Amino acid sequence: MIKTLVLARVLLKNGTGRSKKGRRGSKLPLHLLLPVVLVVAFLPLMLTISRFLGMMYDSLAPHGQQGIIVGLAVGLVSLMVFLFGLIYVINVFFFSQDVEHLLPLPLTPREILSAKFLVTLLYEYLTAFLVLGPVLITYGVKSGGGPLYYIYSLLVFLLLPVIPLVVASVLAMIIMRFTNMAKHKDRYRTIGGTLAVVFALGANLFFQRGARNGVDPEQLQEMLIAGDNSMVRLVTGMFPSSRMAADALTRTSSLGGLASLLLFAGVTVLLYLLFLALGRKLYFRSVMGLSESSAKRAAVTSEQLARETAPRTAFASYLLKELRILFRTPPYFLNCVLMSVLWPVIISIPLLAQGGALPFGSLSDMLLESGAGGLVLAGGVGLFLFVSGGNYTAPTALSREGAGLYVNKFLPIRPRVLLLAKLATGWLLTMVTVVLLLVVGLFVLHVPPLLLLLLLVLGAAASLFSCLTGILIDLHLPKLNWDTEQKAVKQNLNGLYNMLLCILLAVLLFFAVLKLDIGMWGSFGVLLVIMLAADYALYRVLVTKGEEWFRNIEQ
Amino acid sequence: MIAIEQVSKSYNGKTKAVDGLSLTIPNGEIFGFLGPNGAGKTTTIKMITGITRPDEGSITINGLNIEEDPLGAKKQFGYVPDSPDLFLRLKGLEYLNFMADLYEVPKALRQERIRTLAERFDLGQALADPIQSYSHGMRQKIMIMGVLIHDPAVWILDEPLTGLDPKSSYTLKEMMREHADSGKTVFFSTHVLEVAEKLCDRVAIINKGALLFSGSFKEMQEHFRSSDSLERLFLELTNHD
Ligand SMILES: Nc1ncnc2c1ncn2[C@@H]1O[C@H](COP(=O)(O)OP(=O)(O)OP(=O)(O)O)[C@@H](O)[C@H]1O
Ligand SMILES: [Mg+2]
């Protein structure tokens, strides 16, 4: 038991990526801070859910059907834990790099499995809290639940994720044991990560829509009660045990509630033991069969050779290499490439949730006529600076090289060519964001084409600025000492510094335009001149001083 | 030819990894670079190849100074680092083409070289796969291929034989011999003294960043008036204090 806990602690630390040698001072706060930051970040979502639930409660209470809320939530959370569990389990149990080091250690399968399960469970609590937290509290407040209700809630919250996670674990172990998915590790991680993000966005959209449109009590009643309870049945049906949990929560005052709770706890423990027994048989075999990646081992044909040996300039070749690595390395793909596509989506969600029929077109026409076109441009530039400043490609350009940075020093390529190729990679991805945002502007907001054209020019200059500052920051503070690619991007503060810098410029520009008050064309000229000048100055710094800084990076 | 003159390098201003080293690696010879762990071999090689800058001294490769004309000097040599875990997300062929682009190898020539090198190292079946799927030795071989694709005059190899199977190791040694015999330079570090004894025309032994001996194995035996193997002489030399 103690070994399991020790191991779980080590795994958890490895997962967050801080080595023992790391800065001691920041150790404790960071550990405690992460969940707090997450909760704060998701607070708006939780509040929306809570409001949604409140309305639901009010419309169901007259019929005495409010318990459905808890049933639905418990079932939904089980389903969510199960889905996320599949992703977590495969990452924690199979794809994390510690597996190879753990196998030769004198640990029993039970200890390794329990430790890994515990780590995964902790992640799940975070996820489950986002939904279950608002539900349990809202329900408790509305139904005037006593202390017993909250004790039951806590117990249910702690126990609930175990069963779906057990199911997900067993399923994952079977999949890994009997398919060759392990061989396509990178592809799986990319798809899994993308799905998780899309799912989160979808949920966000769903709740925002629901909360905004308001709940029609009649409709809800029809859907949940008058119907054959299909929704509730479907959701809770997947994990029958969650019915006991819901029952325990809705009948805290009666003995039946207690019985349900005890039964639920018993089933949970039983299934966990079953998981351990099965894991013993499945886990080690499937882990030992893991090979790093897929290989076809087929000879290269002459045509293939001819096609793939097309000569390119050093710049083009380096740019291509950067893009290939960005697209093929899952953490880079998720943090750099996917994010550049997601920003426009994230921003358009609230707009779409409004129904998309807002009079933005006439709004911007009005702005143009009333001479506020300059502010629209400044606002657009601010948005571009914000989203491209938030892109991690440029500010991690050198960090991503990691221990292999030295390769760039013995290859016959001028540092400036290499830096410019890295700059171009970042610019390309941030321009994708800019263009997509303009597309949203065109189709959702109906911004006039002329304005879009001006915004495109400014967007190009703004995103170039963000990439230049990003690369210069990374040249000064490259984070090369990492052992998993995840740490090169996710735990790299350079992205944050760059975003702050870009936001600062955005704010300054906005106030400059506001103060000057020189109409659309005047503002366009001022913004463009300022940004081009900044771009040119930073470019000069990059190709002169930047070369020197690059040479001075010692490993 | 590589000329190293009075080169020193210390890390963090404390450890003197290389201390006033002077060494000339002539053309037409295989030159072995020997020394215990931490002697400064990799550090020396990193300075020759422009990865780190020496604190003092100068290094030229075929007459081109690595600090004054880095691009020119870098095109003179091909360097195989001691760790082959590089470019793992690229496919073998993509990596080779990347190297050929940087060294400006014409298309016909690069195809020709990829074909012959792949055959010699028995890697033809793996070129379309990501380097990540290669074994340690295969990674070593693809790195060597990437370096040889521009047919450099000077070869610099940091422990190239560790991890290679007998056949590939034989092939590489054979290629090193051919290269030296054609009047060009081969400089490599190794811990395998039997190989050094048989393969090298000349060796240098360093310890704690300073040169202990440089010359042919024959000269070494004469110097110490002994008929001992290189291994015994090496152990004696480096065990002094
Ligand atoms: N990046 C570094 N930072 C600090 N010290 C270093 C660094 N690289 C090497 N050193 C130190 O410099 C000295 C020489 O190291 P070097 O790597 O050149 O040895 P080596 O002869 O190649 O050894 P080996 O046979 O083990 O490869 C050692 O004392 C080592 O600790
Ligand atoms: Mg070494």
Chain A contact probe: residue of B80, B89, B99, B104 with most A CBs at under 10 A: B89
Cβ(B101)–Cβ(A311) under 8 Å? yes
Which among A191, A160, A153 has a CA at the least distance from the CA of A76? A160
Residue A445 lies in a domain: yes
Chain B contact probe: residue of A180, A319, A401, A410 with most B CBs at under 10 A: A410
User: What tens digit of pLDDT does each residue of A234-268 get?
Assistant: 566 667 777 788 888 888 778 888 888 899 999 99
Residue A15 lies in a domain: no
Nearest-atom number in ligand 1 for the CA of B39 is 21
Report the pLDDT value the prediction gives residue B34, as an integer from 0 to 100.
Answer: 93
| Nearest chain B residue (CA) to A404 | B86
| Nearest chain B residue (CA) to A316 | B101
The whole-number average pLDDT for the span B110-114 is: 94
- Say which of B51, B107, B129 has its CB closest to residue A309: B107
- Say which of B75, B101, B127 has its CB closest to residue A311: B101
What's chain A's average pLDDT?
A: 81
Cα dihedral across residues A478, A484, A485, A487: positive or negative: negative
Tell whether A386 and A446 lie within a shared domain. yes
Instruction: Provide the number of CB pairs (under 8 Å) joining chain A to chain B.
Output: 107
Chain A contact probe: residue of B61, B112, B133 with most A CBs at under 10 A: B133
What are the pocket residues of ligand 1 if the criterion is a CB atom closer than 6 Å to any ligand atom? Answer: A 555; B 11, 15, 17, 35, 37-43
Is B125 buried (19+), middle (13-18) or exposed (0-12) by CB count in 10 A?
A: middle
Separation of CA B192 and ligand 2 centre (Å): 13
Report the pLDDT value the prediction gives residue A29, as an integer from 0 to 100.
Answer: 42
Report the pLDDT value the prediction gives residue A45, as an integer from 0 to 100.
Answer: 73
Separation of CA B13 and ligand 2 centre (Å): 20
Give the C-alpha separation, A506 to A484, whole Å. Answer: 34
Chain CA centroid to CA A140, Å: 31
| Nearest chain B residue (CA) to A186 | B89
The interface predicted TM-score of the complex, written ipTM, equals 0.93
User: Which residues are close to ligand 2, an ion, with C-beta < 5 A?
Assistant: B 42
Residue A220 lies in a domain: no
Q: Which residues of A touch B52 (CB under 8 A)?
A: 554
- Among A5-19, A471-485, A489-503, B19-33, which is the least confidently predicted range? A5-19
Tell whether A529 and A389 lie within a shared domain. yes
Helical pair A255-288 and A109-143, crossing angle rounded to 10 deg:
150
Share of chain A above pLDDT 70, in %: 81
Reading the block at residue A121, the tokens are 């469970």
User: What tens digit of pLDDT does each residue of A27-50 get?
Assistant: 444 445 555 666 666 777 778 778
Number of domains in chain A: 2
Report the pLDDT value the prediction gives residue A363, as an integer from 0 to 100.
Answer: 57
The whole-number average pLDDT for the span A474-482 is: 92
Tell whether A137 and A249 lie within a shared domain. yes
* B16: three-class secondary structure by DSSP: strand
Residue A21 lies in a domain: no
Chain CA centroid to CA B214, Å: 17
Tell whether A372 and A249 lie within a shared domain. no
Which position has the token pair 């029952």? A247
pLDDT at A122 > cutoff 80:
yes
Tell whether A279 and A193 lie within a shared domain. yes
Query: For residue A190, what pLDDT band results from cuts at 50, 70 and 90?
Result: confident
Contact B102 A328 (CB under 8 A): no
Which position has the token pair 């395998």? B192
Which residue did the predictor score with more confidence, B161 or A232?
Answer: B161
Report the pLDDT value the prediction gives residue A27, as an integer from 0 to 100.
Answer: 40
- Say which of A294, A325, A412 has its CB closest to residue B75: A412
Share of chain B above pLDDT 70, in %: 99
Tell whether A338 and A424 lie within a shared domain. yes
- Among A24-38, A50-64, A188-202, A369-383, which is the least confidently predicted range? A24-38
* Cα-only R_g, chain B: 18
Report the pLDDT value the prediction gives residue A414, as an integer from 0 to 100.
Answer: 94
The whole-number average pLDDT for the span A288-317 is: 79
Give the C-alpha separation, A428 to A337, whole Å. Answer: 10
Q: Where are the alpha helices (DSSP H) in A370-414?
A: 373-389, 407-410
Q: Which residues of A touch B121 (CB under 8 A)?
A: none
Chain B contact probe: residue of A411, A416, A550 with most B CBs at under 10 A: A411
Residue A126 sits in which domain range? 28-212+228-290
Residue A98 distance to chain B (closest CA, Å): 18
* A244: three-class secondary structure by DSSP: helix
Q: Which residues of A touch B62 (CB under 8 A)?
A: none
Residue A429 distance to chain B (closest CA, Å): 20
pLDDT at B147 > cutoff 70:
yes
Tell whether A286 and A360 lie within a shared domain. no
**Alpha carbon nearest to ligand 1 atom 6, residue:** B11
| Nearest chain B residue (CA) to A309 | B97
Reading the block at residue B92, the tokens are 């073998």
Tell whether A234 and A326 lie within a shared domain. no
Q: Which residues of A touch B133 (CB under 8 A)?
A: 291-295
- The one-letter amino acid code at A254 reads S
pLDDT at A55 > cutoff 90:
no
Cβ(A527)–Cβ(A377) under 8 Å? yes
Tell whether A276 and A319 lie within a shared domain. no
- Residues on chain B bordering chain A, Cβ-to-Cβ distance under 8 angstroms: 46, 49-53, 71, 74-75, 79, 81, 85-87, 89-90, 93-94, 96-107, 110-111, 114-115, 118, 124-130, 132-133
Tell whether A348 and A237 lie within a shared domain. no
Residue A88 lies in a domain: yes
pLDDT at A155 > cutoff 70:
yes
Contact A297 B51 (CB under 8 A): no
Reading the block at residue A74, the tokens are 């418990």
Report the pLDDT value the prediction gives residue A236, as an integer from 0 to 100.
Answer: 64
Contact A295 B133 (CB under 8 A): yes
Report the pLDDT value the prediction gives residue A28, as an integer from 0 to 100.
Answer: 43
pLDDT at A492 > cutoff 80:
yes
**Alpha carbon nearest to ligand 1 atom 28, residue:** B38
Residue A307 lies in a domain: no
- Residues on chain A bordering chain B, Cβ-to-Cβ distance under 8 angstroms: 291-300, 304-306, 308-314, 316-318, 320-321, 324-325, 328-329, 404, 406-407, 409-414, 551, 554
The whole-number average pLDDT for the span B107-116 is: 94
Contact B132 A304 (CB under 8 A): no
Contact B133 A299 (CB under 8 A): no
The whole-number average pLDDT for the span B20-24 is: 94
pLDDT at A227 > cutoff 50:
no
Residue A296 lies in a domain: no
Tell whether A284 and A318 lie within a shared domain. no
Report the pLDDT value the prediction gives residue A214, as an integer from 0 to 100.
Answer: 54
**Alpha carbon nearest to ligand 1 atom 27, residue:** B37
Report the pLDDT value the prediction gives residue A458, as an integer from 0 to 100.
Answer: 96
- The one-letter amino acid code at A543 reads V
Tell whether A318 and A259 lie within a shared domain. no
Query: For residue A416, what pLDDT band results from cuts at 50, 70 and 90?
Result: very high
What's chain B's average pLDDT?
A: 91
CA distances B134 to A309, B89, B90, B129, B172, Å, are 21, 11, 11, 8, 18
Query: For residue A17, what pLDDT band results from cuts at 50, 70 and 90?
Result: very low
Which among A101, A89, A116 has a CA at the least distance from the CA of A8? A116
Residue A501 lies in a domain: yes
User: What tens digit of pLDDT does each residue of A79-98 get?
Assistant: 888 888 887 787 788 777 67
The whole-number average pLDDT for the span A394-405 is: 94
Give the C-alpha separation, A548 to A539, whole Å. Answer: 14
